[in-house]
A and B are shown apart, each in its own frame.
Chain A
Amino acid sequence: MIPLSWYLILSAALFSIGLFGVLSRKNAVAILLGVELMLNAVNINLVSFWRYGDVSMMAGQVFAIIVFAVAAAEVAVGLALVISVYRRLDTVIADEIDMMKW
């Protein structure tokens, strides 16, 4: 059986890639993609701990499902915001969206 650490390393790598994407990409859509990656890294973590822990305790799987649902909703809201911002400012570059600045 593949040891747990492999999954965790995969999950950590995936999270870091997502985080990097979020922090470095200019495009707001790409930032959203990074966020999705981070969420899925968390899902891997949750599921693997469930599998290697007490299988009868369903909390890991349940959490993963909730994260899916939330992520789907979040993407819907995020994309709607991006579209709205694009219509208003004619851009999806995160740095240019600075209306909240003092």
Chain B
Amino acid sequence: MTTETLIWLIPLPPILAFFLIVLFTNRNKALSHSVAIGAALLSFLGAMYVFFFRALTAPELGKEPFTSAINWIPTGDTWLKIGVLVDPLSAVTLFFVAWTVLMIFLYSVGYHNFGQPAGDHDHPGLPPHGATDEHGHHVPSVEPMYSRFFAFISLFAFGMLVLVLSDNLLTLFVGWEIMGLCSYLLIGFWYAKPSARAAAVKAFMTTRIGDVFMLLGIAFLYSATGTLSFREIFTENVLRTLAIIPSGVFGLSAAGLIGLLLFIGTIGKSAQFPLHVWLPDAMEGPTPVSAMIHAATMVSAGVYMVIRVFPLLSLDPRTMTFVAFIGAFTALFAATIAVAQNDIKRVLAYSTISQLGYMIAALGSGAYVAAAFHLVTHAFFKALLFLGSGSVIHGMEHGVLHTGNHDVDPQNMFSMGGLRSKMPITFWTFLIGGLALSGFPVLTAGFWSKDEILASTFNGHMGVFITLAIAAFLTAFYTMRQITLTFLGEPRTKEARHAQETPWTMTAPLVVLSFFAVTFGWVGIPEHFPVLGGLVPNWFHEFVGGTLADPSTALRAGLPEAAPFNVIPLLTSLAVALGGLFFGWLAYRNVGSVAQDRLQIPLLKNKYYFDEIYDFLFIKPAIWFSETFVYQWMDKGLIDGILHSFGKATQAVGATVRKYIDLWFINQTVGDGTAHVTQWAGRRLRPIQSGRIQQYMLVSLFVLLVAASLIYFVALGQPALALK
């Protein structure tokens, strides 16, 4: 089998699994998860084979990527193509997507309590409430819609693989939209909860805003170049032309406007300011979904797309400035909110927004490789953190079932504490993930990627650098706050005292992901780093940097070489990470309740009132527009008014016709008249019906004689008898 054929086959198992589960195996929970995990495993094996044995061994993958395309939709003389492309960027993305997806699939088995009895009063569409076993113990109960979940995440995985492997913007967009649909379905997985429904709609609508702009960008790009294939667009001639054509909007060049429109798609998908509002609410979904959406797939897809179209984006400095600004602002802004959140998953959600802002800011500063590096490391440690938080919640739910006190929120960090001894595996893996997120020096992957971003922005993007440094400090701070509140100290509630370690299906993925959260950073150690630099080659930079080696040197101008070593960003990076961790521990080591937390500032707690502002600015007017203007005025007033007047006019015509034609002419004159005449004639003729037989006969005889005479004398005209 050629490499290209194998690449074609990689996305297929999950979609087949989706149809298999939906159509055939959805009644059998064990079969359903076997199909889904088996499919994920097949894709995983294919991806690993392509990554290790084909992509890594290819001499110049950047110049000669694996690519294959077939005609798909005819457009006049040309064709829209569907095709696959594995270049260094998609190869590394494929690597981490395959790993995280497989781990998340495995984790879901334990998270949804496979093997536990069905709940006492569980209801499809609600989280399982727990069951009572034969000994009278309260134990967790299996998710009622277990198979459905695996069907959805399989489809989700398909969408991501399509997106990563596609060689053109159109199929990328298809994968993008499949994921949009799946995120809607999965966030609203527990659809009987009103909050989950609202969150699903919010996520769908918010990302839709970005998608519309992205589609506009794709359409503009197609009309300008006549192709959507990456390899055809990113040639010197096409890019030069795009950079010269004016777009007529804001004085941007065509490339600038297309880049901007595509970037707005990313703002929606990767939850950047101002479309970030959906992501924290997406925590309503089951935790594997949060990991799936926030780490491995959907939000990464946004950044992946921007990295993909980076050559286009980098043509217009104003677009780049905008991208850098949005990214840096989001990074800081989301980090400040995360500091004041009490829900363990919401902290991570804001942290995700913040880290994505990091990548976007790096891209806006031209640090293409650093962004890709952080994308990969972040995917690993954030998936780890989300799955770890799910494990914590699961352990807490166990405690809640044990005590029976359902008022305790198993997601609130202030109900936790001291979980390190109850859930050791979860604790250590979560600690690794948290340190990686904070950028704990040297050991963790997060340090290397974050350091590279800071180092790249230090040269020439001072504002971005400072913003990101502050954000990094806050990141370390809230991460340590989270770890301290959750795992350290003494249990704050009885439930936390009875928390329990989760089954192996949940902890095994944590261990695997924590391995990557540490080691993946070592593939990208800068060559000039003190002591460690040069011990291992900076493989990541060479490999992914090679993506844009082709086709032209003009592009390489926009692509930075590995940033020259400077001690200031390194020291900054060390200081903010260690300082944030230290202060986070210092401030929260003795905090016993919410009241003692001095950072519960209403402005931060309420996320700068963005939901309220959007409610006032967009939702209320939209409801007013649809309810009052469209429904009351336009529909009921104008349209219905016109229709009703038609109705009234028709009614008047009908009444007239009825009165003068139907009632008077037809009924009275023709109808009743006929009857009256008949009746009158009958009355007049009645006397001849005497009932006397002989009278009838006499009349008959008379009439006969008259008739005969008439016939004989008048009709035949013969005056006399003519006998023989």
A2 cross-chain contacts in B, Cβ below 8 A: none
Q: Are A23 and B689 in contact (CB under 8 A)?
A: no
Interface residues on B, range: 10 to 19
Q: Are A101 and B689 in contact (CB under 8 A)?
A: yes
A6 cross-chain contacts in B, Cβ below 8 A: none
Given that A5-B723, A23-B701 are known contacts, is A98 also in contact with B692, CB under 8 Å in the complex? yes
Query: Can you spell out 17 A-B residue pairs with CB atoms less than 8 angstroms apart?
Result: A5-B723, A19-B701, A22-B694, A23-B697, A23-B698, A23-B701, A24-B694, A31-B693, A31-B694, A94-B694, A95-B692, A97-B691, A98-B690, A98-B692, A101-B690, A101-B692, A102-B686
Q: Which of B689, B694, B697 has the most CB of A within 10 A?
A: B694
Given that A5-B723, A23-B701 are known contacts, is A98 also in contact with B694, CB under 8 Å in the complex? no
B698 cross-chain contacts in A, Cβ below 8 A: 23
Given that A4-B724, A5-B723 are known contacts, is A98 also in contact with B697, CB under 8 Å in the complex? no
B694 cross-chain contacts in A, Cβ below 8 A: 22-24, 31, 94-95
B693 cross-chain contacts in A, Cβ below 8 A: 31, 94, 97
Number of A-B contacts (CB under 8 A): 34
With A and B bound together, what is the CA distance between A52 and B724 in angstroms? 10
Specify the chain B residue showing the minimal Cβ separation from A49. B724
A5 cross-chain contacts in B, Cβ below 8 A: 723
Q: Which of B693, B697, B701 has the most CB of A within 10 A?
A: B693
Query: Smallest Cβ distance from B691 to chain A, in angstroms?
Result: 3
A22 cross-chain contacts in B, Cβ below 8 A: 694, 697
A97 cross-chain contacts in B, Cβ below 8 A: 691, 693
In the complex, per-residue mask of A27-45: 1 if CB is within 8 Å of any chain B CB, else 0: 0000100000000000000
B692 cross-chain contacts in A, Cβ below 8 A: 94-95, 98, 101
A4 cross-chain contacts in B, Cβ below 8 A: 723-724
A-B pairs, top 7 by smallest CB distance, nearest first, are A101-B691, A98-B691, A102-B689, A100-B691, A102-B686, A94-B693, A95-B692
Query: Smallest Cβ distance from B652 to chain A, in angstroms?
Result: 49
With A and B bound together, what is the CA distance between A2 and B326 in angstroms? 143
The size of the chain A interface, using a CB distance under 8 A, is: 16
Dominant secondary structure at the A interface: helix
With A and B bound together, what is the CA distance between A100 and B697 in angstroms? 15
Q: A57: CB under 8 A from chain B?
A: no
In the complex, per-residue mask of B502-544: 1 if CB is within 8 Å of any chain A CB, else 0: 0000000000000000000000000000000000000000000
Query: Smallest Cβ distance from B722 to chain A, in angstroms?
Result: 13
Q: A1: CB under 8 A from chain B?
A: no
Within 8 A of A (CB), among B585-623: none
In the complex, per-residue mask of B677-702: 1 if CB is within 8 Å of any chain A CB, else 0: 00000000010011111100110010
With A and B bound together, what is the CA distance between A101 and B686 in angstroms? 9
In addition to A23-B694, A101-B690, 13 A-B residue pairs with Cβ atoms within 8 Å of each other are A19-B701, A22-B694, A22-B697, A52-B724, A95-B692, A95-B694, A98-B691, A98-B692, A100-B689, A100-B691, A101-B691, A101-B692, A102-B691
A69 cross-chain contacts in B, Cβ below 8 A: none
B723 cross-chain contacts in A, Cβ below 8 A: 4-5
A101 cross-chain contacts in B, Cβ below 8 A: 689-692
Query: Smallest Cβ distance from A2 to chain B, in angstroms?
Result: 15
Query: Smallest Cβ distance from A75 to chain B, in angstroms?
Result: 17
With A and B bound together, what is the CA distance between A5 and B691 in angstroms? 39
A95 cross-chain contacts in B, Cβ below 8 A: 692, 694
Query: Smallest Cβ distance from B84 to chain A, in angstroms?
Result: 101
Query: Smallest Cβ distance from B106 to chain A, in angstroms?
Result: 102
B686 cross-chain contacts in A, Cβ below 8 A: 102
In the complex, per-residue mask of B308-319: 1 if CB is within 8 Å of any chain A CB, else 0: 000000000000
B697 cross-chain contacts in A, Cβ below 8 A: 22-23
Query: Smallest Cβ distance from B340 to chain A, in angstroms?
Result: 107
Specify the chain B residue showing the minimal Cβ separation from A24. B694
Specify the chain B residue showing the minimal Cβ separation from A53. B724
With A and B bound together, what is the CA distance between A75 and B525 in angstroms? 136
Specify the chain A residue showing the minimal Cβ separation from B723. A5
With A and B bound together, what is the CA distance between A4 and B686 in angstroms? 46
Contact of B691 among A31, A52, A99 (CB under 8 A): A99
Query: Smallest Cβ distance from A93 to chain B, in angstroms?
Result: 10
With A and B bound together, what is the CA distance between A79 and B136 in angstroms? 105
A24 cross-chain contacts in B, Cβ below 8 A: 694
Specify the chain A residue showing the minimal Cβ separation from B685. A102
A23 cross-chain contacts in B, Cβ below 8 A: 694, 697-698, 701
A94 cross-chain contacts in B, Cβ below 8 A: 692-694
With A and B bound together, what is the CA distance between A15 and B692 in angstroms? 22
With A and B bound together, what is the CA distance between A52 and B723 in angstroms? 12
Specify the chain A residue showing the minimal Cβ separation from B688. A102
